[in-house]
Copies of this chain bind each other. A is one copy, B any other.
């Protein structure tokens, strides 16, 4: 009899293989058959875990969000680093741009996959907001931040950062980015209610 543990392992194995295939062959070009051939399972086994190839992609996206959140959590925990640096690094580290998830991200950003993009955004906000809320509370305690709506402000900062810099909404040229990032950091300072220029030095992290 298969244990729950084995089921979870099998599921993660399917996700790992599928992720590899989506990255190397492309999502559209990968069939469920391609996946099961490599994992070495029958069609029925696959469909026991997932309703469709799209559901596999959704699960991969949740994994990516979780990986990003884990990196952010790790960074935020290290109190030997100044709070603002931890926060900025956590926000950066959370983005799937890190650790070779670019191909999945590219797949996700194709116009056809705009619904996956939305799925990612929702999941990321849900997972990341509480982590950064704790950090903001720490900053309020330390008289570093001054704001009335910590949760909503975090949501807005995350949502703006994601929409402005990870999605294809803005049609900016490469040379526009330093200015755009500066303005994002300046607005983040104001929303968090910290000193003007406090986040200025983090520009280099983004470019």
A-side interface residues toward B, CB under 8 Å? 111-112, 114-115, 117-118, 121-122, 125-126, 148-149, 152-153, 155-156, 159-160, 163-164, 167-171, 179-180, 182-184, 186-187, 190-191, 193
Q: Closest B residue to A162 by CB, please name it.
A: B163
User: Nearest residue in B to A110 (C-beta to C-beta)?
Assistant: B115
Interface of A: prevailing SS:
helix
Q: Is the CB of A152 within 8 A of B169?
A: no
Besides the contacts A149-B186, A152-B187, what 14 more A-B pairs have beta carbons closer than 8 Å?
A114-B115, A114-B118, A118-B168, A118-B169, A125-B170, A152-B179, A152-B180, A155-B164, A156-B160, A159-B160, A163-B163, A190-B190, A190-B193, A191-B191
Query: B148 and A183: CB pair below 8 A?
Result: yes
Which residues from chain B contact A118 at a C-beta distance below 8 Å? Answer: 111, 114, 117, 167-169
Q: In the complex, are the beta carbons of B121 and A152 less than 8 A apart?
A: no
CB distance from A61 to the nearest CB of B (A): 14
Q: Which 3 A-B pairs have the closest CB atoms?
A: A149-B183, A152-B183, A114-B114
Name which residue of chain B comes closest to A115, CB basis.
Answer: B114
Q: In whole angstroms, how far apart are the Cα atoms of A167 and B122 in the complex?
A: 11
Given known contacts A114-B114, A160-B156, A186 and B121 CB-to-CB distance under 8 angstroms: no
CB-based contact B111/A115 at 8 Å = yes
Question: Which residue from B148, B153, B159, B183 sits with its C-beta under 8 Å from A153?
Answer: B183
Q: Counting chain B CB atoms within 10 Å of each CB, which of A121, A160, A171, A187 scores highest?
A: A187
Across-interface contacts of A187 in B (CB, < 8 A): 149, 152-153, 156, 190-191
Q: What CA separation (Å) do A148 and B185 show in the bound complex?
A: 12
C-alpha spacing A111/B182, complex, angstroms: 33
Residue among A112, A170, A183 with most chain B CB within 10 A = A183
